[in-house]
Structure 1
Amino acid sequence: MPHLRTAHHLARLMAIGLGFLALPAFGEGSASVPSGIAASHDRVQTVYDCRQLESAPPAIAPDQWFERSIWATHCYRYQARAVRVVDDDVVTLSLVRDINNGVESDRMFFLNGPSRSLRREGGSMRFQLSTDGELAAPASPDALLQHLSELYRLRFRGEERIANRAAVAVEFVPLDSLRYGYRLWLDRATGIPLKRALLDNQGGVLESFELVELTPPDLYDGEVELLEPPSSAALEWKAGWLPAGFISQPLMALASPEDNPRRHKLYSDGLATISLFVEPLVAEGALRPGLHRLGANHAAVRRIERGDETLQAVAVGELPPNVLMRVVEMLQFSDTDSATDSAS
């Protein structure tokens, strides 16, 4: 596996991303930002006035349901039980979502296998169109949907009952072979994501995450503040190639009782993510170069000789394995055009 701390962080990153069904959040930078959202310039990056949901018009079209789910992701408090299924592997979890003094708090407890827990404060991962200038804030709904419309086709997939609640299903169908599809089941009453499935290029389910029990959701009566992500450490490397639509993203802090968050590079197209790690190779953390499967995710591993040092590069994401392999092969360092010639 990668270096011990990186391996721990990778597991938490994938688990929390799926576990909380995090969707990109609204933000500033567009005239179409709803009136209930404002921006700040301290540690608070975006503010939601959740009271706006009480008088919001009903969602009808798929894009309206997607927008409603983003609001719901931030504005409701609840507890839930969930299952994550990948092939024959089933993980059961307990989720607690709370809002205190306008700040979101998420906790996840693994109920089978090794005893583990995760926590996150200040809001879920949010998509930004840039990390610099005016666009260095969560994308507005119009900007986000416009970006996604160049990469996916959004459509209805009917209605079902999930966690004993009526749910509307919407699907993002990729327009190329460089990414997978997503199907989301959204609570008809609130828009809360109740289930998520990752779909391969033939429409088969690679992974699913589903709430099986949900307490009555409680709409927060006030403003919710999304905290500004912590600054990432300056690194001498970056991805030299990415699929169309993938943009560098700020890192959200993840934490658990036994470890601190780690810094790396994160890229997203608004739905899918790529985590890229580069660190000195150590014997106990060495991975065999090539592809490794991590549930529905793959890890592409490469070793790089730079001077007297050997580095291990790892790209992880819910993407076709050949895409991740190309990402890690096209790694670019600040003092060279690329690092492809020194790969092993």
Structure 2
Amino acid sequence: MKARLALAVVMFTAAFPAFSDNDAQSDMDWLQISAVAARQTDYTGIFVYQYGNHIQTARITHVADQHGEHEKLESLDGPRREFIRRNNDAWWNLGDQKPIQVEKQYSGKRFPDLLPEQLSALNENYRIRAAEQARIAGFDTQAVIFQPKDSLRYIHKIWIHRDSGLLMKAAVFDGRSKQKVEQYTFIQLRIGREADSSQAVQMQPPVPAEQKTLMSVSSDPGMPAATTGWKVTFLPTGFKKITEMRRSLHGKNASAIHFAFSDGLAGISVFIEALENISNSKLGLFSRGAVHVYSKVKGDFLVTVVGEVPPRTVMQVMDSVRYTGQ
């Protein structure tokens, strides 16, 4: 369970008009351009992911053609790790490590594709305002801040390329401490015709019969779990249920109940599975950047909450998970 969660955590035109309080609809139209840019634009680049003292470098290549989207994400530090996506099908290549099957990417976001297609909910949960203009990796950008309307979620700040709408940088801040929690930044980038569209051929996910180092992500949406009897009775205002289902567990005959919620920028997931031999080292709170994983035993079940929200919010959600039998 922890391995899959950690893997999921790893591995979310011309100058645009300025933002203004008097033209909120124009502001949202501008963000809408940015929301689709990461899906409809050809680009290849190298970005740096930072949290705490940790720095990780990765290369991403994205091609949109008549067959849909092709994406390849490669880690450039440490052991070889590679993520390949073809529309809704995805694979992890773990190099020499034991392959790990990953759940379907039900709502996961990866830099630079961080904005939702539907932006209306963002105004309900965040105060959106323009910030400074900056030059990043040789591109002119406009910064935008998403200030949450409560203390239960993080502040988000993004830097958008003023020509293509592509995100060049994204940072998350704790609203109380004002400390930076994590940050993604492009340090090299080629967009459009400058990107190597021939990479789409290399992004096909072959699975050699003799050594299946690429493991397919199941496209099966799972079984509906409306009658499980489990309820999540607390969520920050604005979080809406994305899915509730039973998911098979890799290497086990059992299944886990999975709830997924989102406010448009941040996501919260709850996993509930029958209790097996669990050591104390697998319980408690684990963090990586803005993502926090909290596991706790409740009766005969292991409950795990994964959230892109402050630890205190993850704990409040955990306290609200209960079996009602209805």
In the TM superposition, residue 283 of structure 1 has moved relative to its aligned partner by 3.0
More displaced 10-residue stretch of structure 1: 85-94 or 60-69 = 60-69
The match for 1:101 among 66, 73, 78 is: 66
Partner deviation per Cα, 1:2-58 (whole Å, 9 max, x = no partner)? xxxx323323322342xxxxxxxxxxxxxxxxxxxxxxxxxxxxxxxxxxxx7x994
User: What is the aligned partner in structure 1 of residue 2 from structure 2?
Assistant: 7
- 1:245-270, Cα deviation, whole Å (9 max, x unpaired): 1111149xxxxxxxxxx983221001
Note if 1:162 corresponds to 2:140. Answer: no
Seen in structure 2, the aligned counterparts of structure 1 residues 298 and 88 have a Cα distance that, compared at 3 Å, is same
Matched residue of 1:215: which SS? strand
Letter in 2 for 1:182: H
**What residue in structure 2 maps to residue 121 of structure 1?**
86
CA distance in 2, matches of 1:314, 1:196: 27
Deviation of 1:238 (Å): 4.2
Give the Cα–Cα distance (whole angstroms) in 1 for the partners of residues 283 and 234 of structure 2.
19
| Aligned partner of residue 325 in structure 2, secondary structure | coil
The yes-or-no answer on 1:187 pairing with 2:161 is: yes
Contact 2:274–2:301 under 8 Å retained in 1: yes
- Kept in 2, the 8 Å contact 1:238–1:265? The answer is no
Q: Which residue of 2 aligns with 1:216?
A: 191
Q: CA deviation at 1:322?
A: 1.6
Query: How far, CA to CA, are the matches of 2:187 and 2:257 in structure 1?
Result: 33
Q: RMSD of the TM alignment (CA)?
A: 3.0
Contact 1:168 1:188 in 2 (8 A): yes
Mapped contact 1:300–1:315 kept (Cα < 8 A): yes
In the aligned structure 1, how far is the partner of 2:78 from the partner of 2:291? 19
Match of residue 241, structure 2, among 226, 245, 248: 248
Match of 1:76 among 35, 41, 45: 41
Distance 1:81 1:271, change over 3 A: same
- Name stretches of at least 5 consecutive residues in structure 1 with no aligned partner: 1-5, 18-53, 128-137, 221-228, 252-261, 337-344
How much has 1:99 moved relative to structure 2?
A: 2.0
Three-state SS of the structure 1 residue aligned to 2:79 is: coil
> Match for 1:60: what amino acid?
A
The 2-side partners of 1:218 and 1:264 are apart by: 41
Q: Is 2:276 the counterpart of 1:282?
A: yes
Measured in 2, the distance between the counterparts of 1:250 and 1:165 equals 38
Residue aligning to 1:207: 182
SS of alignment partner, residue 223 of structure 2: coil
Shift of 1:211: 1.1
Tell me by how many angstroms 1:275 deviates: 1.9
Question: Does the 8 A contact of 1:12 with 1:118 survive in 2?
Answer: no
Q: Report the Cα distance in structure 1 between the residues aligned to 2:293 and 2:117, rounded to whole angstroms.
A: 31
Checking the alignment, whether the CA contact within 8 Å between 2:15 and 2:163 is kept in structure 1 is no
For 2:155 and 2:34, the matched residues in 1 are separated by 18
- Mapped contact 1:301–1:325 kept (Cα < 8 A): no
Residue 18 of structure 2 is matched in structure 1 by 60
Determine which of 300, 307, 321 is the counterpart of 2:311: 321
Residues 1:91 and 1:263: Cα distance change in structure 2 (over 3 Å): farther
Aligned equivalent of 2:232:
239
Query: Residue by residue, what CA displacement relative to the aligned partner does 1:114-154 show, whole Å, maximum 9, x if unpaired?
Result: 22112233268769xxxxxxxxxx9875xx33x22221100
One-letter amino acid of the structure 2 residue matched with residue 273 of structure 1: G
Q: SS of 1:114's equivalent?
A: coil
Taking structure 1 as the reference length, what is the TM-score of the superposition? 0.67
What CA deviation, in whole Å up to 9, does each residue of 1:278-321 have, x standing for no partner? 1233336765543222333222221011xxxx221111112121
CA deviation after TM superposition for structure 1 residue 218, in Å: 4.4
Task: Quote the Cα distance in structure 2 between the aligned partners of 1:250 and 1:288.
Answer: 26
| Distance in structure 1 (CA, Å) of the matches to 2:297 and 2:16 | 52
